[in-house]
Chain A
Amino acid sequence: MNENFEIVIGLEVHAELNTESKIFCSCKNEFGAEPNTRCCPVCAGMPGTLPVLNQQVVESAIKMGHALHCEINNVTKSDRKNYFYPDLPKAYQISQFDVPLCGKGYLDILVNGEVRRIGVTRIHIEEDAGKLIHDDQSGGTLADYNRCGVPLIEIVSEPDLRSADEAKAYMESIAEILLYLGISEAKMEQGNMRADVNVSVRPRGQAEYGTRAEMKNVNSFSAVHRAVLYEANRQIEILSKGGTVEQETRRWDDVKGKSTLMRTKEDAQDYRYFPDPDLLTFVIPAEKVEELKVAVPELPLAKTQRYMQEFGLSEYDATLLAGQKQRATFFDAAAAYNLCEPKAIANWLLGDILKVLNDNKQELEDTALTPKNLAEMIELIEKGTVSGTAGKKVLDTILEKDIAPAEVVKQKGLAQISDTSALTAVVDTVLAKNPKAVEDYKGGKTNVLAFIIGQCMKESRGQGNPAILKEMVEKALQKL
């Protein structure tokens, strides 16, 4: 990247909401069904049918507005965006033009240890269009209207992003928040989330923005990153050669890793927006707006910062924990029992437990592990009732069934032995079995001590208290 130029990025993120039914009819809002089995006369735009706005959509959008600190407009006004395309059966999309549900706001994102505040221009609600599918048999194109009328929110950012990393972090952060609010599946690979990426470049120090190009069809977090870099380089190259960047819309091809021209500014469509006469503007009661604000949970960045300040977690660990709602909720619940060090909970969650989950391709909720059991298990270790090694055995059990860790310790006889009289035989046996190690120790290689203690742990089936064993071994060796 040419360091003489600054990249300026604004994102328009479309997220499908996970409401029960579609935005204007009672069809199930469901991904992946057989083509044209999740549509009705209304979402298929048949003559004479009319839309009725799903209140759940309004509520979800307002929640997102609160999460992004937006002004909430308190009214729903719907407008028609008119254009002809076979995936749009009414030939207009019901959207919001001059009065979006949510106005100005912002999102703080954490990039490379620094908090960056990204302005949000607006959030509005609209309906999704259908999908066109190429038909190999006929060579023609078929339309699937299942997606018609799936509710979308469009979150428009200010041109405040300055790098591909920031753009990607912003997208990821939007996805995390959608999941935290429980209003979208936020899966880019399923098309739940899509982004139009506006990129311009300008010589460093220049106040005015450069001419922007908008890229459509950017469908993954890493594609956002790649698309920004590609487009910025393309524009820098033009400018470096003394050319001018044209305002245009381009299509991103992630497979080829490049964008191609869709249309220039001259070909821009006139959408002839006007208020949809089928949907009356209505006021959302202030109490309702307030009620939805209260319903917004603590969000990832706030959690990350709290984990760092309150529990002394590293930024890396805190981000990893807070970034996933289930994980963070689990952590918060386990910590709330006040049985053990929260940091230990984080270490277990992000260490042994994450490894098991990754190995088995599982999520936390796929296991039997409860926050209480995990906290109790760590408490047993911290109190010295079991060793860390035995703790791992307890973990294996409580991942599989909901059973009190103390009970596991009892059943499996995993309690740590700190009684020296019970450990004397263990130490004697290990020293007798390992004459070479004893010899080495005496010869001054004191680092074999760890090996001998390890053997003692093994001999005690993990139950021996390592600190006490160390003391005993040292004493015994000196006596020899």
Chain B
Amino acid sequence: MELYKQTATSLAVMLRSKEVSATEIAQSTLARIKQVEPAINAFVAITEEQALAQAAVVDKQLAQNQPLGALAGIPIAVKDNICTDGIKTTCASRMLEDFVPFYNATAVEKIQAAGAVMHGKLNMDEFAMGSSCESSFFGPTKNPWNTAHIPGGSSGGSAAAVAASQVPLALGSDTGGSIRMPAALCGVVGLKPTYGAVSRYGLIAFASSLDQIGPVARTVDDAALLFSAICGPDKTRDATSKNFAFDGKVEASVKDLTIGLPKEYFGPGIQPEVKLAVEKAVEELRQQGANIKEISLPSTSYALSAYYIISSAEASSNLARFDGLKYGYTANRAGLDLTELIETTRSEGFGHEVQRRILLGTHVLSSGYYDAYYKRAKLLQLQIAAEFKAAFESCDLIITPTSPSTAAKLGEFASDPLEMYAADICTVTVNIAGLPAISVPCGQSANGLPIGMQIIGPKFSEQTLLNTAKCYETAVGGFAVAEVQA
């Protein structure tokens, strides 16, 4: 039996019945990671030593019949913008190539307390800025379904590692679609929780008002399991965290639910195959008992502009601390004064996409431009949030495609960043409005690339989202798993 193929939920059962040991799970997982890693490049670092040591601790607890945490013995890997004590946390950037935090993110503390076994750090777009996972300083991650294609981004490593069965669970982060989009493109489940549901402490900020950590898994139950372990308030460390609890139990049901389909998300920008697949999935939910209605979210077309202004503005400030003076990359000091040293460090340490967004963000916050850009974007944010709120008066959930198209070929976005920005069209509104949303696989294109459906709910409706996702998963008999050509 190949343990790496198991879901987290079934591994938990097998471990408790002592059918397998945590060490056996870790060994099988590590072997799988190494086997497919040359083809996928999902990992920035593989933490073998730590995995085996943590597995041994779980086995000891098991032998002594001590109570086990919810994630005991389950392999997990973490996106490389989430701080891990003693393990390099690079944001896939030259700037932080050698940065080793001496503190854990709250989410990492929580999965460790739940007994999860850490297997490594996952690749991403540099500083989570991108939708293709190609801007990583460590090279692009490939899509496990077809390695000539991108996995999506920015949590491309998280989605690819889970899709390639390297790990059953991964943590990602989502600022404008960075969990959901790669989950859709890699045919896995990705949940972007309500803003404030998971502590952001230790997540290296891209856009603080939009960032949220969330789970990536191959099944809805697994995503729910991981989400239940990481959510909850963290008032002493994150002022934006909220009182929220979720017990991880999911019921496959859409009974009495009304699902809205916003017409703006099914327009000409959406690939016909994607549109068809999502409509077919909605039909499946209708058959399971959901009511379906068409709705309208008229400000959707402005969302991308608002998103890129707000996120870049915050990023320009958040990333200003990387100056080469305290930690991280430092340019050769010879002959440079302080200002030149900071400028050279930042020019050499950040990649093009990051620099582009820092410049954009600096511009929109500049005196004389603030009102025209940042202030108007914040007004649009209110408008978009208000439209969602109004929509949820008449429906319980909203369904859209997660990504307007299936995974692009590697390098396809290289010449035109705007084309890549457009790929976020279906996901950014959710972050702007602070809502939760889940992406679940809903079929494949003719050339065998996964398609994702996004289910959006009101704030803190994760339970309903997961119930609906599971209802669909059950109805279609589970999601397909990629066979990686190693």
Q: For residue B255, give the distance in angstroms from its CB to the closest CB of chain A.
A: 36
Quick check: is A274 within 8 A (CB to CB) of the other chain? Answer: yes
Contact yes or no, B209 A277, CB < 8 A: yes
Quick check: is B281 within 8 A (CB to CB) of the other chain? Answer: no
Given A50-B237, A280-B240; A92-B317 close (CB under 8 Å): yes
**Total cross-chain contacts (CB, 8 A):** 100
Contact yes or no, B239 A86, CB < 8 A: no
> Complex Cα distance A273/B367, Å?
9
Contact yes or no, B208 A52, CB < 8 A: no
Please give me the residue from chain A that is nearest to B104 by CB atom: A48
A270 contact set on B, CB distance < 8 A: 366-367
Q: For residue B61, give the distance in angstroms from its CB to the closest CB of chain A.
A: 29
Contact yes or no, A272 B239, CB < 8 A: no
Contact yes or no, B237 A47, CB < 8 A: no
Given A47-B99, A53-B239, A272-B317; A86-B338 close (CB under 8 Å): yes
Quick check: is A84 within 8 A (CB to CB) of the other chain? Answer: yes
A91 contact set on B, CB distance < 8 A: 317, 320-321, 323
**Contact bitstring A43-59, B, C-beta under 8 A = 1, else 0:** 01111111111000000
**Contact bitstring B314-337, A, C-beta under 8 A = 1, else 0:** 101100111101110000000000
Q: For residue B95, give the distance in angstroms from its CB to the closest CB of chain A.
A: 10
Please give me the residue from chain B that is nearest to A44 by CB atom: B326
B273 contact set on A, CB distance < 8 A: none
> Complex Cα distance A44/B103, Å?
13
Which among A45, A84, A89 is the interface contact of B342 at CB below 8 angstroms?
Answer: A84
Given A47-B83, A89-B326, A90-B321; A274-B236 close (CB under 8 Å): no
B96 contact set on A, CB distance < 8 A: 47
Which among A26, A51, A273 is the interface contact of B239 at CB below 8 angstroms?
Answer: A51
B342 contact set on A, CB distance < 8 A: 84
Quick check: is A211 within 8 A (CB to CB) of the other chain? Answer: no
Please give me the residue from chain A that is nearest to B235 by CB atom: A52
Quick check: is B407 within 8 A (CB to CB) of the other chain? Answer: no
Quick check: is B435 within 8 A (CB to CB) of the other chain? Answer: no
Contact yes or no, A82 B240, CB < 8 A: no
> Complex Cα distance A258/B148, Å?
69
Quick check: is A278 within 8 A (CB to CB) of the other chain? Answer: yes
Quick check: is B203 within 8 A (CB to CB) of the other chain? Answer: yes
Size category of the binding interface on chain B: 35 or more
Q: Would you list which residues of chain B between 196 and 255 have a CB under 8 Å from chain A? A: 200-205, 207-209, 235-240
Please give me the residue from chain B that is nearest to A25 by CB atom: B237
Given A272-B362, A278-B239; A90-B200 close (CB under 8 Å): no
Contact yes or no, B320 A90, CB < 8 A: yes
Quick check: is A41 within 8 A (CB to CB) of the other chain? Answer: yes
Contact yes or no, B365 A52, CB < 8 A: no
| Total count of chain A residues near the partner, CB < 8 A | 30
Contact yes or no, B320 A89, CB < 8 A: no
Q: Would you list which residues of chain A between 29 and 66 have a CB under 8 Å from chain B? A: 41, 44-53
Quick check: is B101 within 8 A (CB to CB) of the other chain? Answer: yes
Q: Which of B96, B99, B323 has the largest count of A CB atoms less than 10 A from its CB?
A: B323
> Complex Cα distance A53/B327, Å?
26
> Complex Cα distance A166/B159, Å?
67
Given A91-B320, A91-B321; A52-B236 close (CB under 8 Å): yes
**Contact bitstring A244-274, B, C-beta under 8 A = 1, else 0:** 0000000000000000000000000010111
Quick check: is B265 within 8 A (CB to CB) of the other chain? Answer: no
Quick check: is A404 within 8 A (CB to CB) of the other chain? Answer: no
Q: For residue A46, give the distance in angstroms from its CB to the closest CB of chain B.
A: 7
Please give me the residue from chain A that is nearest to B209 by CB atom: A277
> Complex Cα distance A166/B314, Å?
43
A82 contact set on B, CB distance < 8 A: 316-317, 320, 365
Q: Which of A51, A84, A277 has the largest count of B CB atoms less than 10 A from its CB?
A: A277
Q: Would you list which residues of chain A between 68 and 126 have a CB under 8 Å from chain B? A: 80, 82, 84, 86, 89-92
> Complex Cα distance A280/B434, Å?
14
Contact yes or no, A45 B321, CB < 8 A: yes
A80 contact set on B, CB distance < 8 A: 317
Q: For residue A290, give the distance in angstroms from its CB to the closest CB of chain B.
A: 25
A50 contact set on B, CB distance < 8 A: 200-201, 237-240
Quick check: is A188 within 8 A (CB to CB) of the other chain? Answer: no
Contact yes or no, A48 B105, CB < 8 A: yes
A274 contact set on B, CB distance < 8 A: 313-314, 317, 365, 370, 374
Which among B83, B313, B326 is the interface contact of A48 at CB below 8 angstroms?
Answer: B83
Please give me the residue from chain A that is nearest to B95 by CB atom: A47
Contact yes or no, A48 B338, CB < 8 A: no
A357 contact set on B, CB distance < 8 A: none
Q: For residue B221, give the distance in angstroms from its CB to the closest CB of chain A.
A: 29
Given A47-B99, A48-B201; A278-B325 close (CB under 8 Å): no
Q: Would you list which residues of chain B between 82 and 113 have a CB under 8 Å from chain A? A: 82-83, 89, 91, 96, 99, 101-103, 105
B339 contact set on A, CB distance < 8 A: 84
A44 contact set on B, CB distance < 8 A: 326
Contact yes or no, B321 A48, CB < 8 A: no
Q: Would you list which residues of chain A between 138 and 169 have a CB under 8 Å from chain B? A: 143
Please give me the residue from chain A that is nearest to B374 by CB atom: A274
Please name 4 further chain A to chain B contacts, defined as beta carbons within 8 Å, in addition to the given A47-B91, A48-B89, sorted by A numbering: A49-B202, A82-B365, A91-B321, A276-B208
6 example contacts (A-B, Cβ-Cβ < 8 A) are as follows A26-B236, A47-B321, A48-B203, A52-B239, A82-B316, A91-B321
Q: Which 8 residue pairs of A and B lie closest in terms of their CB atoms, listed nearest first?
A: A91-B320, A277-B209, A272-B365, A277-B208, A48-B202, A47-B204, A48-B83, A48-B204
